[in-house]
Structure 1
């Protein structure tokens, strides 16, 4: 386990690290546990999946939380803001 993986595992918050195109690079156990509790199979929102693409699909169904997540992440990725919570 790399140092970055070890650090992520110490955090209680659900963390996913994504690249500039939205692909998930790293997740921690809190992230995996949360989605498992929601009934989402581990591979659906894990490393290698495009989180922005998934959010956009959910957003198209009218999910307001997904809309906020997409907008927030896109603002961070464009450099408009430094963080999104």
Structure 2
């Protein structure tokens, strides 16, 4: 092989081009994997968010019913005290 002048430059450029091509293929594959993982992560996050909303709604209903029961109890106690004071 003749390593003079233009042949040497073309060979070096060809090797560099091959390395860059392999890097591009690797980068594209890595990007595809990341996109797939990101999509799966977003789906998992959405499922967890929906689950948390359901749990929060259940807890809120429980708290509201407990709160209403406590308010009713306090109102009854207040009414009894008012009756004692006024009558």
TM-score (norm 2): 0.20
Give the greater-gyration-radius structure (CA): 2
Higher strand share: 1
Q: TM-score, normalised by structure 1?
A: 0.21
